[in-house]
Structure 1
Amino acid sequence: MSFSPQSRVWIYQSNRKFTSQEESEILNKLASFTNQWKAHGNELLAKAEIRYGFFIILTVDETQANVTGCSIDSSVRLIKEIEQEYNVDLFNRFNMAYKVDNDVVVNNKEDFETLINIKKINPETIVFNNMVQNLAELETKWEVPFKNSWHSTVFAHLL
């Protein structure tokens, strides 16, 4: 199944890594959801994945049918159910994800600031920009060096 580069994406970042058991259960829930996801009765061409054990990514190709407020609400409800069932935080935008070697680490904003201060996070550290809007941006602008991300403007005073 091929998705347009302009397909919309939503990224939900967990505050902790899912276990492999949790990941397979969550993927099953996401698959049954995306298989029947509709907007005003039109089936949406959608997929869901988990990357690095931390990120739930929903993708919808709007060349088929446009996502509506109601269909977005239904996806948010599902994510909130997953959040409660697995006792994770998927909506906290102040949790920052970055890479150490090839491992993903998630810290709260204060710890992230401290790590910048003590130079554990530097301009080259790969951070995750969960604000990307579409598949093309997911591929090119999601994992970026700190210096090229929105993080660098927010935390500029620390560099």
Structure 2
Amino acid sequence: MFVDFSSISEDAKIWIYPSSRKFYDTETPEIENLIQNFIENWKTEDENFKASYQFLYNRFIILCADDSESKLSNSDIDASVSFILELQEKYDVMLLDKMNVCFKQGEFVQYKELKDFKQLVKSKAVTGKSIVFDNLINTKFDFENYWEIPMEESWYNRFL
């Protein structure tokens, strides 16, 4: 069942899918409709299942599922990955590539391959104060507290 993101438990599972490019304003309404439709139909047979999403910076798709009363099976997770793969194909973006880094440069969110990010750190174009996104977190609590943080406070600080 689709619920408001704010009503989901802090222990809920989170999956963050950064897009290899910013989605265009003309794509955003359709993408949000597709995401909401997926969530509304995800595990419809289970009335205790609660899920939501966030679509942030026109770049990040965040799926959230509270499985405290209704456990997620492998096939439930497979369904979400299949949905993300469909979005990748439809919009010609990468959403499942975990070998990238998202960070802020001014008001803009950048998406770089890890090797290119290391070069930016080396050339001091990115510093310990630069805001990075930890797309590997897996709970709503971590998302709300540790997703968008200075590089020096993240696991990326090893590149400094």
Which digits, 9 at most, give the CA deviation of each residue in 1:103-144, with x for residues without a partner? 211111222111101101111111000111111100101011
User: RMSD across aligned C-alpha pairs, in angstroms?
Assistant: 1.3
Query: In structure 2, what is the Cα distance between the partners aligned to 1:135 and 1:102?
Result: 24
Query: In structure 1, what is the Cα distance between the partners aligned to 2:133 and 2:82?
Result: 24
Query: In structure 2, what is the Cα distance between the partners aligned to 1:66 and 1:52?
Result: 30
Q: 1:19 aligns with which of 17, 24, 31?
A: 24
| 1:138 counterpart residue number | 143
Q: Which amino acid aligns with 1:126?
A: I
| 1:29 counterpart residue number | 34
Q: Gaps spanning 5+ residues in structure 1: where? A: none
Q: What percent identity do the matched residue pairs reach?
A: 34
Query: In structure 2, what is the Cα distance between the partners aligned to 1:68 and 1:149?
Result: 31
Q: 2:128 aligns with which of 113, 116, 123?
A: 123
Q: CA deviation at 1:91?
A: 1.1
Q: TM-score, normalised by structure 1?
A: 0.91
Residue 42 (structure 1) aligned with residue 46 (structure 2): yes
Runs of 4+ aligned structure 1 residues displaced above 4 Å come to none
Which digits, 9 at most, give the CA deviation of each residue in 1:50-99, with x for residues without a partner? 11111100001123311111100000000000000100011111121001
Q: Gaps spanning 5+ residues in structure 2: where? A: none
Q: Which amino acid aligns with 2:15?
A: W
Q: CA deviation at 1:47?
A: 1.0
